[in-house]
């Protein structure tokens, strides 16, 4: 799209990278306002955190906010978030409670308000070609129901299970619904080749005779998210998760793309969409939504490997989780994310033995005003000033 110096790239409007260089985002992003700190009883408090280099520190995390944990490498971010916060909440919160008492600290307060703690990372969403975006975000069950409701399927007595590629019945048995076959090569890694029986469609030929809006179910799996949003416009339970996938910049994925071919960043955003899809705007019973306790999401450097434009999309997804009442805690070095936080918790001042303390906390503007003791404060101040000058 462009090549040359940074200035050359910035002059190339057809390049997304060029556009981002010429006009980088300002914070808060358009349409997103900073949330004020919550009332005193809506904070998660970790008291006396003492693990690895943490110096018996007290940490306050506002609930229902986007929180960034920052600090130079080795300052204690991972120890605090994984070793203390996640380990403690896994014991204290939700149905999967593993035991009593906090880990790596003296006490945790305020966790009663949380229903769940969940780490969202870049690990694959599934290791077999049987898993794909449509199955992971849960919309494929609804698609199968549509197919089973067609006249053709009802005449044949086919139920939704007939349109599954995960169980025997309607799928191609030669590849067991994977669409690919694994060929073992002596002395070489296995290779995957399209199934010669179904041609990669995953289904038996009779199953594909059933059409909905002129398309077989294999045609649907071959569609991109962008195309499918239009096709399922009248079916909110399918359209809603598709719109979420499109909003996070994954409109180009096909519904049936095998999970092992997704990048770490794509997998992470699909996981976030699956979480967002649980928050149905048109949920029939508002009381049920109010009863459900919110989740605390943990993310560790989620921007690794993401393009600048995708960082902005990721930030918008995180904000949507917070808008739905959840808390998002992100370990991050990327200033475009840090500047979007409602609250920053900066550890340091240095790494290792010289780290392990809270050196700054508060909204980005307040942290940026700090003159001493925080590398993040200086970097953030210069970053915000440079962005404001444009």
Which residues here bind Zn ion, judged by CB under 5 A?
172, 174-175, 195, 197-198
Nearest to 71 by CA among 336, 344, 348: 348
> Collapsing DSSP states into helix, strand and coil, what is residue 31?
coil
- CA distances 142 to 152, 221, 227, 240, Å, are 17, 13, 17, 12
**Nearest approach, Cβ of 255 to Zn ion (angstroms)?**
18
**Nearest approach, Cβ of 144 to Zn ion (angstroms)?**
18
Residue placing its CB nearer to Zn ion in the complex, 82 or 181:
181
Residue placing its CB nearer to Zn ion in the complex, 198 or 377:
198
Residue placing its CB nearer to Zn ion in the complex, 165 or 232:
165
Cβ atoms of 77 and 301 within 8 Å: the answer is: no
Residue placing its CB nearer to Zn ion in the complex, 43 or 203:
203
Q: How many CB atoms lie within 10 A of CB 186?
A: 4
Residue placing its CB nearer to Zn ion in the complex, 133 or 200:
200
Two tokens at 331? 């370990």
**Nearest approach, Cβ of 16 to Zn ion (angstroms)?**
37
Residue placing its CB nearer to Zn ion in the complex, 130 or 381:
130
**Nearest approach, Cβ of 229 to Zn ion (angstroms)?**
28
Residue placing its CB nearer to Zn ion in the complex, 175 or 220:
175
Cis preceding linkage at 349, omega within 30: yes
Residue placing its CB nearer to Zn ion in the complex, 198 or 358:
198
- Burial per residue of 96-131, b for 16 or more beta-carbon CB atoms within 10 angstroms, e otherwise: eeeeeebbbbeebebbebbebbbbbebebbeeebbb
| CA 166 – CA 195 distance, rounded (Å) | 15
Cβ atoms of 221 and 134 within 8 Å: the answer is: yes
**Nearest approach, Cβ of 199 to Zn ion (angstroms)?**
8
Angle formed at CA 153 by CA 148 and CA 157, multiple of 5 degrees: 95
Cβ atoms of 222 and 209 within 8 Å: the answer is: no
**Nearest approach, Cβ of 165 to Zn ion (angstroms)?**
9
How big is the chain, counted in residues?
390
**Nearest approach, Cβ of 192 to Zn ion (angstroms)?**
12
Give Cα 34 to chain centroid, integer Å: 21
Q: How many CB atoms lie within 10 A of CB 288?
A: 9
Cβ atoms of 312 and 29 within 8 Å: the answer is: yes
**Nearest approach, Cβ of 170 to Zn ion (angstroms)?**
12
Residue placing its CB nearer to Zn ion in the complex, 196 or 230:
196
**Nearest approach, Cβ of 196 to Zn ion (angstroms)?**
8
Nearest to 169 by CA among 148, 150, 194, 139: 148
CA end-to-end distance (rounded Å), the chain: 24
Two tokens at 7? 């200035």
Residue placing its CB nearer to Zn ion in the complex, 74 or 129:
129
**Nearest approach, Cβ of 254 to Zn ion (angstroms)?**
17
Q: Is 64 left (phi over 0), alpha (psi -120 to 50) or beta?
A: left
């Amino acid at each position: 799209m462009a090549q040359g110096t940074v200035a050359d790239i910035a002059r190339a409007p057809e390049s997304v990278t060029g556009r981002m260089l010429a006009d980088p985002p300002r914070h808060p992003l358009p349409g997103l306002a900073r949330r004020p700190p919550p009332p005193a009883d809506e904070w998660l408090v970790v008291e006396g955190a003492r693990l690895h280099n943490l110096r018996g520190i007290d940490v306050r995390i506002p609930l229902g906010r986007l929180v960034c944990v920052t600090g130079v490498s080795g300052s204690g971010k991972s120890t605090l978030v994984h070793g203390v916060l996640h380990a403690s909440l896994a014991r204290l919160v939700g149905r999967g409670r593993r035991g009593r008492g906090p880990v790596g600290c003296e006490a945790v307060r305020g966790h009663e308000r949380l229903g769940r703690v969940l780490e969202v990372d870049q690990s694959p969403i599934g290791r077999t070609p049987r898993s794909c975006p449509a199955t992971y975000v849960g919309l494929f069950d609804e698609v199968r129901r549509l197919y089973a409701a067609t006249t053709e399927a009802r005449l044949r007595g086919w139920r939704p299970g007939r349109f599954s590629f995960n169980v025997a019945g309607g799928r191609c048995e030669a590849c067991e619904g994977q669409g690919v076959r694994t060929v073992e090569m002596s002395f070489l890694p296995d290779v995957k080749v399209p199934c010669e029986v179904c041609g990669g469609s995953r289904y038996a030929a009779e199953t594909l005779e059933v059409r909905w809006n002129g398309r077989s179910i294999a045609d649907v799996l071959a569609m991109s998210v962008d195309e499918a949003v239009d096709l399922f416009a009248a079916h909110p339970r399918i359209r809603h998760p598709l719109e979420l996938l499109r909003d996070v910049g994954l409109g180009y994925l096909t519904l049936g793309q095998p999970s092992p071919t997704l990048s770490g960043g794509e997998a992470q955003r699909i996981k976030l969409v699956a979480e967002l899809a649980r928050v149905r705007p048109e949920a029939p019973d508002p009381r049920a939504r109010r009863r459900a306790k919110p989740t605390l999401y943990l993310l560790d450097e989620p921007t690794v490997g993401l393009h600048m434009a995708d960082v902005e999309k990721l930030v918008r997804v995180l904000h949507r989780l917070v808008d739905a009442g959840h808390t998002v805690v992100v370990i991050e070095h990327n200033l475009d994310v840090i500047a979007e936080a409602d609250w920053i918790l900066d550890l340091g001042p240095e790494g290792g033995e010289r780290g392990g303390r809270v050196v700054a906390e508060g909204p980005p503007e307040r942290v940026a005003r700090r003159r001493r003791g925080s590398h993040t404060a200086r970097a953030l101040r210069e970053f915000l000033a440079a962005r404001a000058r444009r």
